[in-house]
A and B are shown apart, each in its own frame.
Chain A
Amino acid sequence: MLKLPIYLDNNATTPMDPRVLEAMTPFFLQHFGNAASRNHPFGWEAEEAVDYAREQVAKLIGADPKEVIFTSGATEADNLGIKGVFEMYASKGNHIITATTEHKAVLDTCKHIEKIGGEVTYLQVNAEGLIDLKELEAAIKPTTILIAIMYANNEIGTIQPIKEISAIARKNGVLVFTDATQAVGKVPVDVNKDGIDLMAFSAHKMYGPKGVGALYVRRKNPRVKVTAQMDGGGHERGMRSGTLNVPGIVGFGKACELCMLDMEADTKRISKLRDKLENALMLLEEAYVNGSKEHRLPHVTNISFKHVEGEGLLMGFNKNIALSSGSACTSASLEPSYVLKALGLGDDLAHSSLRFGLSRFTTEEEIDYTVKAISETVIKLREMSPLWEMYKEGIDLNTIEWAAH
């Protein structure tokens, strides 16, 4: 039976897997100890649980457990990774290379770095959302200490060529940081095969709980160090003070274990549903997929429906289908998505996009319902759209002088 509302905003957050909750539950009431309490069984239990979770997390990304630093989430891990490297390697240089389509947690951290004397290069992306490797290499200077490029984009799902990026970085003696929040658990991420030195990711994007994430920090070839950004008890090998969120970490570990077990089957099923959704919606006139279709997360698609406005479109079905518009129109600012703009999309298309994120729990019935609801709304709104009428009359919208606005 189809249950409404349908959740297709899994890039924002995923529902928790019930198996994750089950693993966490004992650590709220029964085993409530502080993992740093070394002199009684409550502490030992908690520490043991954290150690086990650390192994589960490390295994998913091909790392050593000692390389996993637990944080409150990916935003904190982004901050710790980038600011921590900037401080630690200050004697080596002050230049960081990133891209315009990064998450705000990376972009705003870089803006902060600029304010405190750092230099940041923001690489442009092509129409598919991919950076140009030649441009990357050309941007490296003697003062470059870090390349921060995301693994996969949160709005369009485009996967960057991380292996190639890290090869360039290695050749030039520069560290590689990647925000892999959307990728870990969804596609095989291996810090050694991918040549990653630092990596941020989060539990709640992979069926785990909110409020817990991790920063991977390489310990060998090269040994990477970050300066702590929070002072305190020196937890997490001195890199992240603060009492560990034991139930969250246990859940994170379980979520990683499940992703590892289920990834192949999940990917096969989810990508099939994603393709079904995408193909059906592309039957509408003037619909465009944003970002690379080739280098893309299996559960994501971002589609623009020309001549209808994203927020108006969402209103047609958002009682029954949870989705997000690529445009940030719901906020007071009327700016369309900076990611879509970076791909070179005109304002009309950038204002007309929907982001779909499927999950382990998405069903075919839900996809069928979604296709029908969205198609009907797009057709209805186009009947109401003056832009659609002009388009149908063959008027080039670029030739119209729009009122200053």
Chain B
Amino acid sequence: MAYSEKVIDHYQNPKNVGTLDKASKNVGTGLVGAPECGDVMRLQIQVDDATGVITDAKFKTFGCGSAIASSSLATEWLKGKSVDEALKIDNMDIVEELNLPPVKIHCSVLAEDAIKAAINDYRIKNGMEAIKFEESVVH
């Protein structure tokens, strides 16, 4: 299968690989996927308490090139967005931006799930209720 140029670029030069302090109150961590499925994504956001804006985002991903690219792209999109805006990131935006083929759509779903999981982790840490999301159905 040929990967799109954008996937290759993210794979070769991934943006925002790294780790934020999980224990910090203004860091939300989302860990999604499972090793037996061949994909595990960890996405972290750092939120400015005063403004509600995501000031930093980091990821680490175990998976194929499309999974790495999806999470790399997600971190780029998250930075500078408010948490509310971040909730609007849809997996199909990722599919479109990276030209993912149908068999790789689950990678974008995983990235969306990781964003939501990170936001919920941040909310719970800060005394807010977790948002209930519809179960993703693709994987």
**Distance between Cα atoms of A331 and B101 in the complex (Å):** 12
Is B95's CB within 8 Å of the partner chain A? no
Closest to A347 in B: B36
A-B contact pairs, 28 of them (CB 8 A): A307-B62, A309-B62, A311-B63, A312-B62, A312-B65, A312-B68, A315-B3, A315-B65, A329-B38, A334-B37, A346-B36, A347-B37, A347-B38, A351-B38, A384-B14, A384-B68, A385-B40, A385-B60, A387-B35, A387-B40, A388-B62, A402-B34, A402-B36, A403-B34, A403-B113, A405-B33, A405-B36, A405-B37
The A interface is mostly helix, strand or loop, or mixed, namely loop
Q: Which residues of A contact B86 (CB under 8 A)?
A: none
**Distance between Cα atoms of A277 and B38 in the complex (Å):** 25
Q: Mark B83-113 against chain A: 1 for CB-CB distance below 8 A, else 0.
A: 0000000000000000000110010000001
**Distance between Cα atoms of A312 and B11 in the complex (Å):** 9
Using A309-B38, A386-B42 as known contacts, list a sample of 7 further A-B pairs with CB atoms less than 8 Å apart, ordered by residue number in A. A311-B38, A312-B64, A312-B67, A347-B38, A383-B17, A385-B61, A403-B34
Is A165's CB within 8 Å of the partner chain B? no
Q: Which residues of A contact B37 (CB under 8 A)?
A: 334, 347, 405
Q: Mark B1-15 against chain A: 1 for CB-CB distance below 8 A, else 0.
A: 101000010010010
A residues sitting closer than 8 Å to B (CB atoms) are: 307-312, 315-316, 327, 329-332, 334, 336, 346-348, 351, 383-389, 397, 400, 402-405
Q: Please tell me which one of the listed residues B11, B36, B62 contacts residue A386 in the complex, with CB atoms under 8 A apart.
A: B62
Q: Which residues of B contact A348 (CB under 8 A)?
A: 35-36
Q: Which residues of B contact A386 (CB under 8 A)?
A: 31, 40-42, 60-62
**Distance between Cα atoms of A386 and B8 in the complex (Å):** 20
Closest to B32 in A: A403
Q: Please tell me which one of the listed residues A315, A332, A402 contacts residue B35 in the complex, with CB atoms under 8 A apart.
A: A402
**Cβ contact within 8 Å between A308 and B64:** no
Q: Which residues of B contact A404 (CB under 8 A)?
A: 34
**Distance between Cα atoms of A347 and B62 in the complex (Å):** 13
Q: Please tell me which one of the listed residues B11, B19, B65 contacts residue A389 in the complex, with CB atoms under 8 A apart.
A: B19
Q: Which residues of B contact A329 (CB under 8 A)?
A: 38, 64
Q: Which residues of B contact A384 (CB under 8 A)?
A: 14, 17, 60-62, 68
**Distance between Cα atoms of A332 and B65 in the complex (Å):** 15
Closest to A312 in B: B64
B90 to chain A, nearest CB (A): 19
Closest to A319 in B: B8
A376 to chain B, nearest CB (A): 12
Q: Which residues of A contact B103 (CB under 8 A)?
A: 331-332
**Cβ contact within 8 Å between A309 and B31:** no
Q: Please tell me which one of the listed residues A311, A385, A402, A403 contacts residue B64 in the complex, with CB atoms under 8 A apart.
A: A311
Q: Mark B45-67 against chain A: 1 for CB-CB distance below 8 A, else 0.
A: 00000000000000011111101
Q: Which residues of B contact A315 (CB under 8 A)?
A: 3, 8, 11, 64-65
Is B39's CB within 8 Å of the partner chain A? yes
**Distance between Cα atoms of A316 and B139 in the complex (Å):** 25
Closest to B139 in A: A405
**Distance between Cα atoms of A351 and B41 in the complex (Å):** 15
**Distance between Cα atoms of A348 and B34 in the complex (Å):** 9
Q: Please tell me which one of the listed residues B1, B42, B62, B67 contacts residue A330 in the complex, with CB atoms under 8 A apart.
A: B1
**Cβ contact within 8 Å between A311 and B65:** yes
**Distance between Cα atoms of A330 and B33 in the complex (Å):** 18
B88 to chain A, nearest CB (A): 22
B112 to chain A, nearest CB (A): 13
**Distance between Cα atoms of A328 and B85 in the complex (Å):** 37
**Cβ contact within 8 Å between A312 and B63:** yes
**Distance between Cα atoms of A346 and B38 in the complex (Å):** 11
- Which one of B8, B35, B61, B103 has the greatest number of beta carbons of chain A within 10 Å? B35
Q: Contacts A309-B64, A330-B1 given; indicate if A403 touches B33 (C-beta within 8 A).
A: yes
**Distance between Cα atoms of A311 and B38 in the complex (Å):** 9
Q: Which residues of B contact A351 (CB under 8 A)?
A: 35-36, 38
Q: Which residues of B contact A332 (CB under 8 A)?
A: 102-103
A373 to chain B, nearest CB (A): 13
Q: Which residues of A contact B42 (CB under 8 A)?
A: 386
